[in-house]
A and B are shown apart, each in its own frame.
Chain A
Amino acid sequence: MASIDVQGVRKNYGDVEVLHGVDLTIRDGEFIVLVGPSGCGKSTLLRMIAGLEEVTGGDIHIAGKHVNHLAPKDRDIAMVFQSYALYPHMSVADNMSYSLRLRKTPKEKIASAVGAAAAKLGLDPLLERRPKALSGGQRQRVAMGRAIVRQPKAFLFDEPLSNLDARLREQMRAEIKKMHGDLGATSIYVTHDQIEAMTLADRIVAMHAGVVQQIGSPLDLYDRPANLFVAGFIGSPGMNFLEGTYHSGDGKADIRLSDGTAIPIRPREGLRDGYAATLGIRPEHVELKEDGSWQADVELVEPTGLGIILHLSIHGQSFKIFTADRAVLSPPPSLQVNFPEEHLHVFDEDGNRAD
């Protein structure tokens, strides 16, 4: 097990820079999730840590050792691929023991390591099968087994669950978390699924367009998103945004929408009078109240079983509410809502959080 240190890491493909200086310190035994939309550079960063992509600039240390120019085989890490990447001409047991055989581990040791991993993952009856005779979930398990047999310094996961169906994904997610609890191994997990990020991570690294947007615990990112990107990416359904201009004076402040409506907020530092600002509130934090201050027209009702998502329009801007109140299943054409101040997020004209 080891710490991983990423300093000012950049990546260019030709003239195009896809990672613009990433700094990240991962503690021994920590579970880090890199999350972001496709093309944000999260997989590239993971592959650079694995040694599968060259580092254009900056430094990567694994367990204090500078690894920029080390081949993947000398970094002592294990990786689980999205496609599983099982060796099709080898049995499950051979797939799992390949890394140990390459390291000339004694036969008895290999047998016991494979046996232990197979028992942990429930692969015992499948050891002699070829990958093509396995279901998607079983292949996924073999890929995990291949990673854990040799107790590497760190585990890297590249969207390991995205080829599984929703039910299986949920189950494997829990198993990965349990496995991390048992092994306590340093892990880096790449995903575009914010639920996976929220449920698995000790700390989430939110990335967008090759830049780290925010690093923090899942609840940090949920409660205090650093900018509009993180605010919109974390949480489902996504946060509502109302764009307007910030006005303050006499210890009071408000955000004025384009049609002149003013939404009062408490004054925030870092916001300039008369400049553009964005107000954010999560759908689950909007209050439905008969004496609410804002009128909203109902456009669509989406029941999810757990609750109901209402698509509304407030002063011409589209808006969502998530509520467990089944009374709104057949709502009137318009409703009254409130925006509780403690749940309001305000962002300045550059999209950064203002407190």
Chain B
Amino acid sequence: MRAKKLSLTIAHRLAILAYIVFALFPLFWLLKVAVTPNDLLYSEGVRMWPSRATLEHFEFVIAHSAFPTFFRNSVIVSGSTAIAVTIIASLAGYALSRFSFRAKYWLIALMLITQMFPLVMLVAPIFKMLTPLGLTNSLAGLVIVYTAFNAPFATFLMQSFFDGIPKDLEEAAMIDGATQFKAFRQIILPLTLPGIAATLGFVFTAAWSELLFALMLISGNDAATFPVGLLSFVSKFSVDFGQMMAAGVLALIPACLFFLLIQRYLVQGLTAGAVKG
């Protein structure tokens, strides 16, 4: 009996391990190629780790490429988009969750429809619209486009978090003497922090890795974001894999930091104890 339980536990752990290895292997490969010297990249065959590791690709990427510019641009674009979308989505999600108003149904339907079209279809019209406004080749243009595309989904996400917070809480706050907005800010918003963190993280990563619009709306290195910049490691005759992977590893850092920062809110069940349960 005991042996059976033990073997089941072992099987369980092995399955988890296999899954983790499967999911993280591409990341490992990214790191492996990034530290492989160029002369060993093709000469050693397929190995799990090169016989000699080097940081020269990282040094080159940081010191001699436009990568720091790409990186800065991406931080600005993704950060601004995440903040703008989260503010819009919190307010809109709260309204959809709590208020009943005319045309609410149609508004939701319209927001869903925007999610139905492949983005490729919209590249040309958006380029046409942004050009006369001077928003092509600018970070502000990218932030506006990303915000518009991410806001509907983020709104639904936030709405579901607000739906999970009992209405009694803000009614109690309003009877205690708060206006509806104050109740929202002081009672509801703090309880939605996990939702806000999830939305921030979701939008940040989406903007961080967006390639299509960045490629179409931006030309030249000055306003290029990191995914576009990666392509600059592809030249006409060769691909510099080592530098590209090194840039990729560096680009993972802010995403990891960001999730470290918000994970505390993601796992916290803040509403526990609010009402009977």
Interface residues of A (CB under 8 A from B): 50-52, 71-73, 77-79, 81-89, 98-99, 102-103, 130-134, 136, 139, 146, 163
List residues of chain B with CB within 8 A of the CB of A102: 176-178, 182
Residue of B168, B169, B177 with most partner-chain A CB within 10 A: B177
Contact with A along B87-104 (1 / 0, CB 8 A): 000000000000000000
Interface residues of B (CB under 8 A from A): 166, 168-169, 171-179, 182, 187, 190-191, 270-276
List residues of chain B with CB within 8 A of the CB of A71: 174, 179
Please tell me if the beta carbons of B173 and A132 are within 8 angstroms of each other in the complex.
Answer: no
Please tell me if the beta carbons of A85 and B174 are within 8 angstroms of each other in the complex.
Answer: no
- List 23 A-B residue pairs with CB atoms under 8 Å apart, sorted by A's residue number: A52-B171, A71-B179, A72-B175, A73-B178, A78-B176, A81-B168, A81-B172, A83-B166, A85-B169, A85-B275, A86-B172, A86-B273, A86-B275, A87-B169, A87-B173, A88-B270, A88-B272, A99-B177, A102-B177, A102-B178, A132-B274, A136-B276, A139-B273
Residue of B173, B182, B274 with most partner-chain A CB within 10 A: B274
Q: Considering the complex of A and B, which 5 residue pairs feature the smallest CB-CB distances, nearest first?
A: A132-B273, A83-B275, A85-B168, A99-B176, A85-B172
List residues of chain B with CB within 8 A of the CB of A134: 273
Which of B171, B176, B191, B275 touches A98 (beta carbons < 8 Å)? B176
List residues of chain A with CB within 8 A of the CB of B175: 50-52, 72-73, 77-79
Please tell me if the beta carbons of B276 and A84 are within 8 angstroms of each other in the complex.
Answer: yes
Which of A81, A89, A133 touches B190 (beta carbons < 8 Å)? A89
Q: In the assembly, what is the distance between CA of A89 and CA of B271, in Å?
A: 8
List residues of chain B with CB within 8 A of the CB of A79: 171-172, 175
Closest CB in chain A relative to B166 CB, distance in Å: 6
List residues of chain A with CB within 8 A of the CB of B182: 102
Please tell me if the beta carbons of A163 and B276 are within 8 angstroms of each other in the complex.
Answer: yes
List residues of chain B with CB within 8 A of the CB of A146: 172, 176
Closest CB in chain A relative to B259 CB, distance in Å: 23
Name which residue of chain B comes closest to A158, CB basis: B168
List residues of chain B with CB within 8 A of the CB of A77: 175
Please tell me if the beta carbons of A85 and B171 are within 8 angstroms of each other in the complex.
Answer: yes
Please tell me if the beta carbons of A88 and B274 are within 8 angstroms of each other in the complex.
Answer: yes
Which of A51, A84, A88, A103 touches B191 (beta carbons < 8 Å)? A88
List residues of chain A with CB within 8 A of the CB of B173: 87, 98
Contacts A85-B275, A88-B191, A89-B191 supplied; 7 other A-B pairs, CB < 8 Å: A52-B174, A52-B175, A71-B179, A82-B168, A85-B169, A88-B273, A146-B172
List residues of chain A with CB within 8 A of the CB of B176: 73, 78, 98-99, 102, 146
Please tell me if the beta carbons of B276 and A72 are within 8 angstroms of each other in the complex.
Answer: no
Q: In the assembly, what is the distance between CA of A78 and CA of B175, in Å?
A: 6
Please tell me if the beta carbons of A73 and B179 are within 8 angstroms of each other in the complex.
Answer: yes
Residue of B174, B191, B270 with most partner-chain A CB within 10 A: B174
Closest CB in chain B relative to A184 CB, distance in Å: 21
Q: In the assembly, what is the distance between CA of A82 and CA of B175, in Å?
A: 15
Please tell me if the beta carbons of B179 and A86 are within 8 angstroms of each other in the complex.
Answer: no
Name which residue of chain B comes closest to A79, CB basis: B175
Closest CB in chain B relative to A53 CB, distance in Å: 10
Q: In the assembly, what is the distance between CA of A130 and CA of B175, in Å?
A: 21
Q: In the assembly, what is the distance between CA of A136 and CA of B273, in Å?
A: 10
Name which residue of chain B comes closest to A74, CB basis: B177
Name which residue of chain A comes closest to B166, CB basis: A83
List residues of chain A with CB within 8 A of the CB of B169: 85, 87
List residues of chain A with CB within 8 A of the CB of B168: 81-83, 85
Q: In the assembly, what is the distance between CA of A48 and CA of B166, in Å?
A: 19
Please tell me if the beta carbons of B171 and A73 are within 8 angstroms of each other in the complex.
Answer: no
Please tell me if the beta carbons of A103 and B276 are within 8 angstroms of each other in the complex.
Answer: no
Which of A83, A87, A99 touches B276 (beta carbons < 8 Å)? A83
Q: In the assembly, what is the distance between CA of A280 and CA of B275, in Å?
A: 42
Q: In the assembly, what is the distance between CA of A163 and CA of B166, in Å?
A: 16
Residue of B173, B182, B273 with most partner-chain A CB within 10 A: B273
Q: In the assembly, what is the distance between CA of A313 and CA of B182, in Å?
A: 61
List residues of chain B with CB within 8 A of the CB of A163: 276
Please tell me if the beta carbons of A87 and B274 are within 8 angstroms of each other in the complex.
Answer: yes
- Provided the pairs A85-B169, A88-B191 are in contact, do residues A72 and B273 lie with their beta carbons within 8 angstroms? no
List residues of chain B with CB within 8 A of the CB of A99: 176-177
List residues of chain A with CB within 8 A of the CB of B179: 71, 73
List residues of chain A with CB within 8 A of the CB of B274: 83, 85-88, 131-132
Q: In the assembly, what is the distance between CA of A103 and CA of B175, in Å?
A: 12
List residues of chain B with CB within 8 A of the CB of A81: 168, 171-172
Q: In the assembly, what is the distance between CA of A282 and CA of B273, in Å?
A: 43
Please tell me if the beta carbons of A88 and B271 are within 8 angstroms of each other in the complex.
Answer: yes
Closest CB in chain A relative to B269 CB, distance in Å: 9
List residues of chain A with CB within 8 A of the CB of B178: 73, 102
Please tell me if the beta carbons of A131 and B177 are within 8 angstroms of each other in the complex.
Answer: no
List residues of chain A with CB within 8 A of the CB of B174: 51-52, 71-73
Closest CB in chain B relative to A98 CB, distance in Å: 5
Name which residue of chain B comes closest to A129, CB basis: B273
Q: In the assembly, what is the distance between CA of A146 and CA of B176, in Å?
A: 9
List residues of chain A with CB within 8 A of the CB of B190: 89
Closest CB in chain A relative to B23 CB, distance in Å: 34
List residues of chain A with CB within 8 A of the CB of B271: 88
Q: In the assembly, what is the distance between CA of A83 and CA of B172, in Å?
A: 11
Name which residue of chain B comes closest to A103, CB basis: B177
Name which residue of chain B comes closest to A163, CB basis: B276
Q: In the assembly, what is the distance between CA of A332 and CA of B166, in Å?
A: 55
Name which residue of chain A comes closest to B269, CB basis: A132
Closest CB in chain A relative to B234 CB, distance in Å: 50
Q: In the assembly, what is the distance between CA of A51 and CA of B272, in Å?
A: 27
Q: In the assembly, what is the distance between CA of A71 and CA of B274, in Å?
A: 24
Name which residue of chain B comes closest to A76, CB basis: B177
List residues of chain A with CB within 8 A of the CB of B171: 50, 52, 72, 79, 81, 85
Please tell me if the beta carbons of B166 and A85 are within 8 angstroms of each other in the complex.
Answer: yes
